[in-house]
Chain A
Amino acid sequence: MIDPAELAAAQPDLEMLLVEMIASVLGEQAEPTGERLPPAVGLAVSRLVIQDANDGSFLGIEVRAEGTLITTLAATLLGVAEPAPDDMLDVIAELGNIAGGNVKSLLCHNGQLSLPSAQLVFEQSGEAPDAIRAAAGLLGNVMELVVMPLPAADPQTRWPSGSAQHEAEVSSL
């Protein structure tokens, strides 16, 4: 289980990770910001889980951005004039995947990263009190990376082929 103090101390690293990911994947300049996403707005959210192989504990990762921002990014990345919801989901899912892999390197060296699960939502889910949040501003919008300890993985979590979790799922069928 990751120590809450260790998680809190990682906040500046998460902020840097988010900014670097935006620059590398999206080709956009971003700056860390104290701003938050507006409370009632269409959001694209990507969720992943890391399971620590040492003690079995779980860490949740979310990447969130306004739907309008993801629409703009999807148009550029996929080369489509009017991105469909599936295009937006693909973009936020891959951003979550990249963020998740880098969070694993930072906080959980011996763990398994799940596959991303992406959703378009109209309300932000509640955040655990020990969640750590990093935010970056780009194109006049905010993108957030939130990392939080989880008591368990969502049963809908998909694990990659070849992982112990996937093998356990397959053998239980």
Chain B
Amino acid sequence: MQALVVDDSRVMRTILTRLLTDLNFDVVQAGDGAEALAALDAGARPDVALVDWNMPVMDGLTFIKKCRQNPDYRDVVLMMVTTESEHSNIVQALAAGAHEYVIKPFTDEVIAEKLEMLGLIAR
């Protein structure tokens, strides 16, 4: 299984990469939505992308919308991982095509549970 971690924070990318690696994912990282799209355009086909919302260059919501507009990327499961916790944000992300929504700070268990619910891991 491959995961794409999209976050402008190197610390958050490191935390998520460590967690996903422990769950047997190969992890690719991107610092913003544009970098993530470039990775997909270059041929990366992650099973899941964990996407921050507030980023420079291209925010996570725009990335999710662009990802959903391209049929080549329709199999990528999208999980928003963000500090944005308003109900309206959650609705917006899910309407744009996110499958799951995790609010920071999170525990490892929360991420693992979501991945299990999405059928990406079995525990």
Give the distance in Å from the alpha carbon of A89 to the alpha carbon of B53 in the complex: 20
Binary contact track B56-84/A, C-beta < 8 Å → 1, others 0: 11110110000000000000000000111
Complex contact A161–B56 (CB within 8 A): yes
Given A25-B15, A94-B11, A113-B54, A162 and B59 contact (CB-CB distance below 8 Å): yes
Asked if A100 and B14 make an inter-chain contact with CB atoms under 8 angstroms apart, the answer reads: no
Contact A90 B107 (CB under 8 A): no
Query: Counting CB contacts under 8 A, is B85 at the interface?
Result: yes
> Complex formed: what's the CA distance from A59 to B8 in Å?
23
Chain A residues with Cβ below 8 Å from B105 are 20-21, 24-25, 98, 102
B: interface residue count bin: 20 to 34
Structural contact, A161 and B85, CB atoms closer than 8 A: no
Determine if A160 is an interface residue (Cβ-Cβ < 8 Å): yes
The CA-CA distance from A25 to B104 in the complex, in Å, is 9
- Once the chains bind, are A161 and B55 in contact (CB under 8 Å)? yes
With a cutoff of 8 Å between Cβ atoms, the chain B residues found around residue A115 in the complex are 8, 54-56
Could you tell me the distance between the alpha carbons of A22 and B53 in the complex, rounded to whole angstroms? 21
Residue of B nearest to A80 (CB): B14
Nearest Cβ on chain A to B80's Cβ, whole angstroms: 12
> Knowing A24-B107, A79-B14, A160-B54 touch, does A109 contact B86 (C-beta < 8 A)?
yes
The interface residues of chain B lying within 8 Å CB-to-CB of A20 are 105
Q: Mark interface residues in A13-39 (1 if CB within 8 Å of B CB, else 0).
A: 000000011001100000000000000
Contacts of B18 in A (CB 8 A): 79
Q: Determine if A42 is an interface residue (Cβ-Cβ < 8 Å).
A: no
* A77 CB, min distance to chain B CBs, angstroms: 6
Q: Which 6 pairs between the two chains have the least Cβ-Cβ distance?
A: A101-B83, A24-B105, A162-B59, A160-B54, A94-B11, A94-B9
